[in-house]
Amino acid sequence: MATKTVWIVLCCLFVIAQADQGGFDVRHHLSTVTRYSVSKDVTQNLIEGSNVPSECTPIHLNLVARHGTRSPTKKRLRELENLAGRLKELLRDAEARNLPSDKIPGWLGRWVSPWQGKVKGGELISQGEDELYQLGIRVRERFPTLFEEDYHPDVYTIRATQIPRASASAVAFGMGLFSEKGGLGPGRNRAFAVTSENRASDTKLRFFECCQNYKSYRKAKEPAVDKLKEPVLNKITASVAKRHDLSFTKQDISSLWFLCKQEASLLNVTNQSCELFTPSEVALLEWADDLEVFILKGYGNSLNYKMGVPLLEDVLHSMEEAIKAREENLPQGSYEKARLRFAHAETIVPFSCLLGLFLDASEFEKIQKEKPLELPPQPPKTRDFKGSTMAPFGANNMLVLYSCPAASSPKYFVQVLHNELPIAVPGCDGKDFCPLEDFKAKVVTPHLKHAFHNLCNANLDDPKHKHPSSKLSFWSWLLGSSQKTEL
* Burial of residue 326, with CB atoms counted within 10 A of its CB: 0-12 exposed, 13-18 middle, 19 or more buried: middle
Name the pairing type of β-strands 57-66 and 338-343.
parallel
Q: How far is residue 382's CA from residue 444's CA, in Å, rounded to a whole number?
A: 29
65, containing H or E segment:
strand 57-66
Q: Does residue 377 have a cis bond before it (omega within 30 degrees)? A: no
Q: Are 76 and 121 a contacting pair, CB within 8 Å?
A: yes
The reply to whether 134 falls in a domain is yes
156-160 and 421-422 beta bridge pairing: unpaired
Residue 149 resides in a domain:
yes
Model confidence over 34-76: pLDDT tens digits? 999 999 877 666 676 667 998 999 999 999 999 999 999 999 9
**Mind listing the pLDDT tens digit of every residue in the chain (487 residues)?**
444 443 433 333 333 333 344 589 999 999 999 999 999 877 666 676 667 998 999 999 999 999 999 999 999 999 999 999 999 999 999 999 999 988 999 999 899 999 999 999 999 999 999 999 999 999 999 999 999 999 999 999 999 999 999 999 999 999 999 999 999 999 899 999 999 999 999 999 999 999 999 999 999 999 999 999 999 999 999 999 999 999 999 999 999 999 999 999 999 999 999 999 999 999 999 999 999 999 999 999 999 999 999 999 999 999 999 999 999 999 989 999 999 999 999 999 999 999 999 999 999 999 988 887 999 999 999 999 999 999 999 999 999 999 998 776 789 999 999 999 999 999 999 999 999 999 999 999 999 988 999 999 977 556 555 544 433 343 343 333 333 333 3
| Residue 432 burial (CB count, 10 A) | 23
Tell me whether residue 358 is in a domain.
Answer: yes
The predicted pLDDT at position 427 comes to 95
The total of structural domains in the chain comes to: 1
pLDDT of residue 467: 46
Amino acid residing at 193: A
Residues 6+ apart with CB under 8 A from 456: 207, 210, 211, 212, 213, 214, 307
The per-residue pLDDT for 44 is 65
Pairing of strands 396-403, 412-418: antiparallel
Which residue range is the domain that position 412 belongs to?
48-71+123-211+295-454
User: 319 lies in a domain?
Assistant: yes
Which H helix or E strand runs over 160? Answer: strand 156-160
pLDDT given for residue 16 in this prediction: 34
Task: Convert the pLDDT of each residue in 13-25 to its tens digit.
Answer: 333 333 344 589 9
The pLDDT, as a whole number, for residue 370 is 83
pLDDT digit string, tens, across residues 367-423:
988 887 999 999 999 999 999 999 999 999 999 999 998 776 789 999 999 999 999
DSSP for residue 71: P
DSSP letter, residue 444: I
Q: Is residue 470 one of the residues assigned to a domain? A: no
Domain CATH number, residue 357 = 3.40.50.1240
In a domain, 473, yes or no: no
Contact 340, 146 (CB under 8 A): no
Residue 192 domain-assigned (yes or no): yes
Residue 150 lies in a domain: yes
Q: Which residues of 351-373 are buried (b: 16+ CB within 10 A; e: fewer)?
A: bbbbbbbbbeeebbebbbebebb
Of residues 135, 162, 189, 169, the one with CA closest to residue 421: 135
Q: In this structure, are residues 442 and 428 in contact, taking their beta carbons and an 8 Å threshold? A: yes
As a whole number of angstroms, the distance between CA 154 and CA 142 comes to 21
User: CA–CA separation, 304 vs 217, rounded Å?
Assistant: 9
